[in-house]
Chain A
Amino acid sequence: MTETTSMTQASGGGLSAQKLGLIAVAVLLAGLIAVPVAVGDEFVYHIFITICIFAALSTAWNIVGGYAGQLSLGHAIFYGIGGYAGVILVNFGISPWFGMFAGAAVAVVAAIVVSWPCFRLHGPFFALATIAFLEVFRVLALHFRDLTGGATGLMIQLNIGWEWMVFRERFPALLIAFGMLLVCLAVAWAIRSHRLGFYLVATRERESAAKAAGVGTVKVRLMAVSVSAALSAMVGTFHAMYLTFIEPESMFSLQFSIQIAMFALIGGIGTVWGPLLGAVLLVPITEFARGALGSEAIGLHGFVYGVVLMLVVLFLPNGIMGVVHRFTSSSEKTEGEQAAPVAAAPRSAVPHEPGREVMRVEGLQKHFGGLHVTNDVGFTLREGEILGVIGPNGAGKTTVFNMLSGFLKPDQGRVSVLSPSGEWQEPATPADFATLGVGRTFQIVQPFAAMTVEENIMVGAFHRHPHVGDAREAARETAHRMGLGPYLNAEAASLTIGGLKRLEVARVMAMEPRILLLDEVMAGINQTDVRRAVDLMLSIRDTGVSIIAIEHVMQAVMSLSDRVIVINSGQIIAQGDPQKVVRDPQVIEAYLGKEFTHA
């Protein structure tokens, strides 16, 4: 995906490429004003105003559809709300400069009502739901004639002047449209380069991993939808003033919604500048076809759009920005930091004593249908202790983990965590657990595939460092500690499985957790890496972090754990000193079968 790479350039060496890109954008933006002024033709003005409006709408859409990955095909809802709010208020004698904020407020409410229940839907289902909402809005707009004028539409009273956004000449309208485009671009850029943007992309890529990193996934998506809806409504208000006439069929149009999304996809979905590029390239085609060929060519521009969309999807899935990036990245060498993987810090020689209790697990019960997966599991964890959890496959270890991190709700029993201020709390959601300093990894690695290694770790680091600069610093430090230094700018998807396991641990380490839940981080990595991982975990423990580790690599379990718990068929069958536990007949039976108990 493209956004990774643009971020990479911002962080890595390619300053000149980044500068070049900014200059190109500045020239492009200046051209949007300069060309129509220089040509001075009414029709050219109209084309450029339309470009600005579509680019602004598409940029706003991209915050939801691109960053958050929620593919809305109903964005005309918010545009239409803005348009109607503006026109209705103007006809009451209220300036659209106020009307657009009223429209934005209504659009934000509508956005939350529409998207909150739909967030559990993914991909095509979210798209279908937004289309259905759009149809409902259109039908309601047709129905409530007193308010909207119904199918006959609404005209605005023609008051000319800046306070009414209506002008005899085109230039002021172009200025307003351009200003709105700048606002949308600035907001989209600000979101993408701050914590919210990272959180949105992380949520898009792996919702559960984002939750484990302490991201309020619903909250960040609602923020994205609200901002996007407000911007779309404001543009809608201005566009209604510009058109001077609105009707439900054009304001709540599915085709219009698709076009908005299409520009973003063609330019580069999820990138800051992609939607602008898409609109600049495609809007003139439409408007020329309409202006030059007239009614003979009805449908021509739509046909071209459809074909271009299919071609882009097939051959340039990352849009024009993807091509731009391929071009710039091949011309510059990546100055990979060749630092050798740094081993874990040497351990202190001080013998280690576990401290006070930090987590209490009492009587956990969990059923999946008729299957009793967790039966009365209870234990405590002390500060600076490593607790190994072992048991045969399917014993229910990961289920227990899911209940210790808020991903599953136990049927009975409770998990309490000692807060930093010394009170016992019972967190419920993954976000609560993260706030209390409980961090976890996943048995099946969950990288944010479209982000770089550095950005992956930053998502964890944001938990303690809200500012991008601090988070990046913390992420780099963690990466070096985990031996991921040379791969900082590599896409996570390009790592080997061992690398991904380390990335999984690095991301949670960057959260600076007090309690660390590690789910089979050593499975499938080689002997040297196992030894390194053991050292690393011991050094983490020495900083006062408590660790619960599910592990199959017995060598690691034996050398690491202060205490071991054995789970079989959802029950704890043994616990205590690792050396004693492995000789327990029940444990041997669970692993090897009855006939081995006396071996």
Chain B
Amino acid sequence: MDTFLQIVANGLMLGGLFAIVAVGLTLIFGIVKVINFAHGEFLMVGMYLTFLLSTGLDVHPYLTAAAVAPALFVLGALTQRLLIQPLMSARDEHVQIFATVGLSTALMNLALLVFGADIANTPAHGVRSQVMLGEVRILTGQLWVFGAAILLVIALQLFMKKTRTGRAIRATAQNRAAARLMGINDKFIYVLTFGLGAACVGLGSSLIAPLYPTSPTIGTYFVLIAFVCVVLGGLGSIPGAFFGALVIGLVDALSGFYIGSDLREAVVFTIFLLILILKPSGLFGTRMTQSHVSP
């Protein structure tokens, strides 16, 4: 029983970690209707920035988020402005897919060129120490990530529901043409949203860096899992992505223990395929428009 509780706790903590990566991805998908294949590389860039800043200035990695998240916001906004926006009206979807795939390939290999294939370890500053919650052991860093993920989801929901800008973003997502007629600058909204989504993963990267070794290919693993969480939670749904991430975290931890640690990914991706094929709107999702071209 203790083992089981420990596994569930590990799974939930892992879920929190996936959530903080997936939230930005689902935000971008839900509003801009572009699947950002470079999202994992955004995470990777954020982790390297955290590593460089925290070792260079000898500060706690969490403090670097104040610089990393804005930096990622700029990276995301530039991506939308320079790469995605010129392709928004492209008739063939493959163009947008290849654009972000190209960005992903370029960033990953740029990191290889600059940092080499070796891994970079961000100093832990105590976040890798364990705490006991009843019978289960958890790293303090994991708790911080989990808490941050919850706060991020709540903050984003409030922003989308309560603020004028948030309403403008949702209006643009639902009907781009109608939003434009109401005087919303849709291009600005898309740039802002892409930046926000990237900033979310920037915040996440500062929290994740002290827990995971940073390498040029770290993004690929996380982005694939994040896609799974996003699809599971219903594309574009921020709370959906959070709960999807918890489910995937649990599945990952449980299947790793009961089926075999080398088959965890096979289980996760099989679930992903089943959801994608049988219930593409996700477990918690509702139907939404999946195109930025108004019907």
Chain A interface (Cβ < 8 Å from any Cβ of B): 65, 69, 71, 73, 117-118, 120-125, 127-129, 131-133, 135-136, 139-140, 142-143, 254-255, 258, 261-262, 265, 269, 297-303, 305-310, 313-314, 317, 449
Contact = CB atoms under 8 A, between A and B. Distances in A.
A524 to B, nearest CB: 19
Interface in B207-244: 216, 220, 224, 227-228, 231
B260 interface: yes
B111 interface: yes
B265 A117 contact: no
Interface of B: 35, 83, 86-87, 90-99, 101-113, 116-117, 216, 220, 224, 227-228, 231, 260, 262-263, 265-266, 269-270, 272-273, 276-277, 280
Contacts of B231: 128
B93 A123 contact: yes
Contact of B95 (A140, A297, A307, A317): A317
Consensus secondary structure, chain A interface: helix
B108 to A, nearest CB: 7
B277 A71 contact: no
Contacts of B270: 136
Given A136-B270, A139-B263, A306-B102, A128 B91 contact: no
A483 B124 CA distance: 76
B93 A122 contact: yes
A140 B91 CA distance: 37
Taking each of B97, B216, B227, which has the highest tally of chain A beta carbons within 10 Å of its own beta carbon? B97
A129 B273 contact: yes
Contacts, number: 140
Given A129-B273, A305-B109, 13 more contacts: A69-B92, A73-B101, A121-B280, A132-B272, A140-B266, A258-B105, A299-B109, A303-B110, A307-B102, A309-B102, A313-B87, A313-B102, A314-B86
A317 B262 CA distance: 40
A121 B277 contact: yes
Contacts of B96: 124
A314 B116 CA distance: 29
A314 B109 contact: no
B207 to A, nearest CB: 25
A180 to B, nearest CB: 26
Consensus secondary structure, chain B interface: helix
30 contacts: A65-B94, A71-B93, A71-B97, A118-B277, A121-B280, A125-B280, A128-B276, A129-B276, A132-B224, A132-B272, A132-B276, A135-B224, A139-B262, A140-B266, A143-B262, A262-B102, A262-B105, A265-B94, A265-B98, A299-B108, A299-B109, A299-B110, A303-B106, A303-B113, A305-B102, A305-B106, A306-B107, A306-B109, A313-B95, A313-B102
A128 B109 CA distance: 21
B102 A124 contact: no
Nearest to B106: A306
A302 B265 contact: no
Contacts of A69: 92, 94
A315 to B, nearest CB: 9
Q: A-B pairs with the 10 shortest C-beta distances?
A: A306-B106, A299-B112, A302-B109, A309-B102, A123-B93, A306-B105, A299-B109, A303-B109, A310-B102, A299-B113
Contacts of B216: 299
A269 B94 contact: yes
A310 B112 CA distance: 19
B93 A135 contact: no
Nearest to A116: B277
A310 B101 CA distance: 8
A372 B112 CA distance: 61
A317 B96 CA distance: 10
B104 A131 contact: no
Given A124-B35, A140-B266, A254-B220, A314 B99 contact: yes
Contact of A132 (B105, B269, B280): B269
